[in-house]
Amino acid sequence: MAIYDPKSLTAEEFINHEEILETIRYAEENKHNLPLIDSILEKARPQKTATGVHCAGLSHREASVLLACDIPEKVEEMYRLAEEIKLAFYGNRIVIFAPLYLSNYCVNGCVYCPYHAKNKHITRKKLTQDEVRAEVIALQDLGHKRLAIESGEDPVNNPIEYILECIKTIYSIKHKNGAIRRVNVNIAATTVENYRKLKEAGIGTYILFQETYHKQSYLELHPVGPKHDYAYHTEAMDRAMEGGIDDVGLGVLFGLERYQYEFAGLLMHAEHLEAVHGVGPHTISVPRVKRADDIDPDVFDNGLSDELFKKIIACIRIAVPYTGMIISTRESQAVREKALKLGISQVSGGSRTSVGGYTEEERPHDSEQFEVSDQRTLDEVIRWLMDQGEIPSFCTACYREGRTGDRFMSLCKSGQILNCCHPNALMTLAEYLVDYASEDTKRVGMALIERELEKIPRENVREIAREHIQEIYHSNRRDFRF
């Protein structure tokens, strides 16, 4: 039997089945243990220190107790704490991005994804470099500055050389005042050598969803193809970090397996990265299984209610306070609205999940990876966020200034968000308002910027930010950053 060891590089030791089962048993036994629950909540609260704000975070076992707790007033306390932690480290900024699907050719047999190799009626497509260029220009014309590129796993159609060529094309395109400043990559697990190539290509975060941490379920859900190898997939983040990639993004596909198991496994993976590499995941995503061509989510019997989903988001935020959290357009406006207050720091907007979707006037459905629940335009999403009191941010400064990995975490932990990320968010929002926003959104946004400038603590930073924003309003100068 494998022994639980967060410092091990072997998947079945740092994601240990028996440890997860024992954690779930412990959480169930203690879900009404008020002294324990109160002590866990107290441990998790932000503490002001001489160098900023500190949060202890929680172990997977402590966080699992909170997740199991069903005492209404304690659940509400969790929600308030999650919001307090999110504001302490990320403020009221929400980072904006869009997915860009390059190819849906895939050799895997994943039973929850319409790209699986046996699906013979989905329209298969792979973008040429000219088509990549057209998609990127369409995204730039919406106002996007940050993309997450997506591709099926197919060594013939989508080799690493194709991905690298697409990244080079994306970064090369300067259209009007538009430019993609950061490309995150969500592709299949690969080798250390290939991760080094991605690092050299200037990617931001490498994202790979585990789908499920339950090994037996994983093998059944991935019956054929290279993704069938549980260990190779689960150990991918260690190879990525060995290859020099500072920022990695985790996620599970909630609904495939029992949520308690996935929750514990996800936090154990974060603990493993911290133990081995000295820095946890840069982001955690929380997708749920959704309907798509050839896929009926109702066949999976582990679906989550919206209320339970909300609780999971809050508990993740409490457990890993410094990690960014992402919610996509898989979720409806109503669900995303509730999630914003519970720890989410990044959202996609105006997304299309089909290959070549952004250049089509009507949203194509014949090659979508999943149905998009939130189908609003980017301008509508920006206006909605501002109406919620949030600052939509297109900022990519940290990544281009080398503030990644442990350097980003030290910035976050030192409480310098208001003097760095906050003004950068306001300046990139000003760019969006001038270059892309509707008149109504522009009016609301300019008033929000004026209010938010006053929150910057350092007078010199505040005045420099104000000057740069005025330059953005009245000239074609762009890309100011702290």
Task: Indicate which CATH number applies to the domain containing 226.
Answer: 3.20.20.70
Q: 180-196 pLDDT, tens per residue?
A: 999 999 999 999 999 99
**Residue 232 clears pLDDT 80, i.e. is over it:** yes
- pLDDT at site 345: 96
- Same domain (yes/no): 180, 212: yes
Token output for 259 = 């949520």
Provide the 3-class DSSP secondary structure of residue 165. helix
**Residue 372 clears pLDDT 70, i.e. is over it:** yes
- Same domain (yes/no): 45, 113: no
- Same domain (yes/no): 166, 60: no
**Residue 413 clears pLDDT 80, i.e. is over it:** no
- Same domain (yes/no): 37, 128: no
- pLDDT at site 49: 81
The residue from 375, 403, 431 where one domain ends is: 375
- pLDDT at site 239: 98
Q: Is residue 323 part of a domain?
A: yes
- pLDDT at site 361: 77
- Same domain (yes/no): 53, 116: no
**Residue 292 clears pLDDT 70, i.e. is over it:** no
- pLDDT at site 427: 98
CA distance linking residue 283 with residue 209, whole number of Å: 11
Q: How many CB atoms lie within 10 A of CB 310?
A: 19
pLDDT higher for 413 or 184? 184
- Same domain (yes/no): 320, 461: no
CA distance linking residue 277 with residue 264, whole number of Å: 20
**Residue 280 clears pLDDT 60, i.e. is over it:** yes
Q: Is residue 79 part of a domain?
A: no
**Residue 80 clears pLDDT 80, i.e. is over it:** yes
Q: Confidence band (pLDDT; 50, 70, 90) for 392?
A: very high
Which domain covers residue 458, as residue numbers? 412-474
Q: Is residue 392 part of a domain?
A: no
Q: Confidence band (pLDDT; 50, 70, 90) for 368?
A: low
- Same domain (yes/no): 52, 157: no
Are 155 and 179 in contact, with CB atoms under 8 Å apart?
no
Burial of 120 (0-12, 13-18, 19+ CB in 10 A): exposed
Are 284 and 326 in contact, with CB atoms under 8 Å apart?
yes
- Same domain (yes/no): 419, 351: no
Q: 324-356 pLDDT, tens per residue?
A: 999 988 899 999 999 999 999 999 999 998 999
Q: Confidence band (pLDDT; 50, 70, 90) for 370?
A: low
Q: Confidence band (pLDDT; 50, 70, 90) for 302?
A: low
- Same domain (yes/no): 57, 98: no
- Same domain (yes/no): 417, 332: no
Domain count, the chain: 3
Cα 249–154–130 angle (5° rounding)?
85
**Residue 418 clears pLDDT 80, i.e. is over it:** no
Task: Give me the chain's average pLDDT, please.
Answer: 93
CA distances from 423 to 145, 395, 417, 420, 462 (A): 17, 10, 9, 6, 7
- pLDDT at site 117: 84
Are 140 and 188 in contact, with CB atoms under 8 Å apart?
no
Q: 423-458 pLDDT, tens per residue?
A: 999 999 999 999 999 999 999 999 999 999 999 989
Q: Is residue 406 part of a domain?
A: no
Q: Whole-structure pTM over 0.85, yes or no?
A: yes
Q: 110-157 pLDDT, tens per residue?
A: 988 888 888 878 889 999 999 999 999 999 999 999 999 999 999 999
Are 327 and 339 in contact, with CB atoms under 8 Å apart?
yes
Q: Is residue 256 part of a domain?
A: yes
- Same domain (yes/no): 325, 236: yes
Are 96 and 89 in contact, with CB atoms under 8 Å apart?
no
Q: Which of 73-77, 119-123, 409-413 has the highest mean pLDDT?
A: 73-77
- pLDDT at site 297: 54
- Same domain (yes/no): 98, 40: no
**Residue 385 clears pLDDT 80, i.e. is over it:** yes
CA distances from 381 to 149, 338, 348, 374, 473 (A): 21, 14, 9, 9, 22
Q: Is residue 398 part of a domain?
A: no
Are 292 and 318 in contact, with CB atoms under 8 Å apart?
no
Could you tell me what percent of the chain has a pLDDT over 90? 81
Q: Is residue 285 part of a domain?
A: yes
Q: Is residue 5 part of a domain?
A: no
Q: Confidence band (pLDDT; 50, 70, 90) for 227?
A: very high
The residue from 29, 44, 72 where one domain ends is: 72
- pLDDT at site 266: 98
Q: Confidence band (pLDDT; 50, 70, 90) for 53?
A: confident
pLDDT higher for 13 or 417? 13
Q: Confidence band (pLDDT; 50, 70, 90) for 291?
A: low
